[in-house]
Amino acid sequence: MIEYRWNGVGLSAPDDWEVSALERDGFLLEEQGRPRCELKWRNVQGTFSFEKHLKRLQKGHKGVDMRPLESADTPGPWRESLARLAGSGLSAHSFLWRTEVDQGIGAALHNPGTGLAALIQFFLRAESEDALAAEVLASFRDVSAGKTVPWSLFGLAARVPADFLLNTFSFRPGHYAVKYWRPRSGRNAGRAPMGKGPGTSLVFERFAPAGVLLRGTTLETWVRDTLEDPPPESLPMQAGHKESREAVRWTGFAKDSFLRAALRRRVHCQGRVWTTGAGNAILAVRASGSVPLIEETFNTVCESYVLV
């Protein structure tokens, strides 16, 4: 089973299920082009009504027949999974759904402690698939409540301080990038668009294949020539090793002047880039903004970033 962690939620799925569609608050898993599991979530304020939620789903999905699944009609493995979720603090209500071409089973989940509301549905073609769907359901977790929030996707894993928000992401062949944003606290927090205004940007990147990208050049030169927001030429890099692999790091001001200092608009930047043994990749973590990350926090974030 592969663990998926994304923007505060997670579940485990069979190795041959793959992410075919990804959003900030949802993803679709497929097996050889066939949909197997769809998961969507959001945060809600106040009480959660399963009946109202099911009605909204029916209105938003024309041509889909949905009905609540009574306890007496619930398959045994599915019922056991619901009990396990209840033990972790999640309330769950099951439903059956059907279209002209597909059918399946699903559940609306709610965590009253965090406000998370999630909808998970499985595409079933035979009763023999019920047990596997129940196993995946039981693995669902709300992972948003800790001091750090994990993410694990497409062979990468890391942990992010909980006060950072998922901003943008891109998974293209040869280059993966996941960007987070933490607005500066105060009266203006939340007024500016995501990634704009005072705050801190935290970026995770993966480049591959490292052997090709670094052919005929050094890691430091590659960083300055390739990264979207490289450190300024005036900022020196420290060369070293991470687990016996080549690495560089930097910390300082990307934009600095007497006026910026007086107006509290200095832009601090820090970064670490290293090559990996297995996977033949280059991993990079960068933080920049008007509010620098504490060095210990940044180092902890970098240590959490690995290939899986």
- Residue 44 amino acid letter: V
The strand pairing partners of 232, in sequence order, are none
Who has greater pLDDT, 169 or 197? 169
- Residue 83: helix, strand or coil by DSSP? helix
Domains of the chain, each with CATH number or no CATH: 2-142 (3.40.1000.10), 148-307 (3.40.1000.10)
- Residue 77: helix, strand or coil by DSSP? helix
Task: Kindly give the residue spans of alpha helices, DSSP state H, lying in 61-209.
Answer: 76-87, 130-138
Full strand arrangement of the beta sheet holding 65-68: 18-23, 26-31, 34-43, 116-123, 103-111, 91-98, 65-68
Pick from 147, 154, 197: nearest CA to 177 = 154
Structure-block tokens of residue 143? 């992972």
Phi (first) and psi of residue 199, to 5 degrees: 160, -165
Residue 79 pLDDT: 93
Mean pLDDT of 153-157: 97
Q: Which of 68-72, 174-178, 251-255: highest mean pLDDT?
A: 174-178
Give dist(CA 211, CA 89) in Å, integer: 47
Cβ proximity of 158 and 305 under 8 Å: yes
Cβ proximity of 122 and 136 under 8 Å: yes
Interior CA angle at 195 toward 25 and 160, to 5°?
Answer: 60
Give the containing element (helix H, strand E) for 272: strand 267-275
Residue 258 pLDDT: 43
Residue 201 pLDDT: 96
pLDDT tens column, 240-272? 887 768 999 999 987 654 444 444 567 899 999
Bridging pattern class, strands 91-98 and 245-255? unpaired
Residue 277 pLDDT: 84
Mean pLDDT of 226-233: 91
Q: pLDDT confidence of 198, banded at 50, 70, 90?
A: confident
Give dist(CA 92, CA 286) in Å, integer: 39
Share of the chain above pLDDT 90, in %: 69
Residues with Cβ within 8 Å of 141's Cβ and at least 6 positions away in sequence, in order, are 9, 10, 11, 88
The DSSP secondary structure of 16-51, one letter per residue, reads T-EEEEEETTEEEEEETTEEEEEEEEEE--S---HH
Mean pLDDT of 169-189: 85
What's the half-sphere exposure (Cβ side, CA atoms, 13 Å) at 224?
A: 12
Residue 22 has pLDDT above 90, yes or no: yes
Structure-block tokens of residue 299? 């180092």
Cβ proximity of 178 and 169 under 8 Å: yes
Give dist(CA 287, CA 254) in Å, integer: 11
pLDDT tens column, 77-126? 999 999 999 999 999 999 998 888 889 999 999 999 999 999 999 999 88
Cβ proximity of 122 and 34 under 8 Å: no
Give dist(CA 55, CA 268) in Å, integer: 49
Give dist(CA 262, CA 273) in Å, integer: 32
Residues with Cβ within 8 Å of 235's Cβ and at least 6 positions away in sequence, in order, are 250, 252, 253, 254, 269
Pick from 278, 45, 241: nearest CA to 155 = 278
Cβ proximity of 121 and 104 under 8 Å: yes
Residue 200 has pLDDT above 60, yes or no: yes
Q: pLDDT confidence of 134, banded at 50, 70, 90?
A: very high
Give dist(CA 75, CA 70) in Å, integer: 10
DSSP summary character for residue 72: G
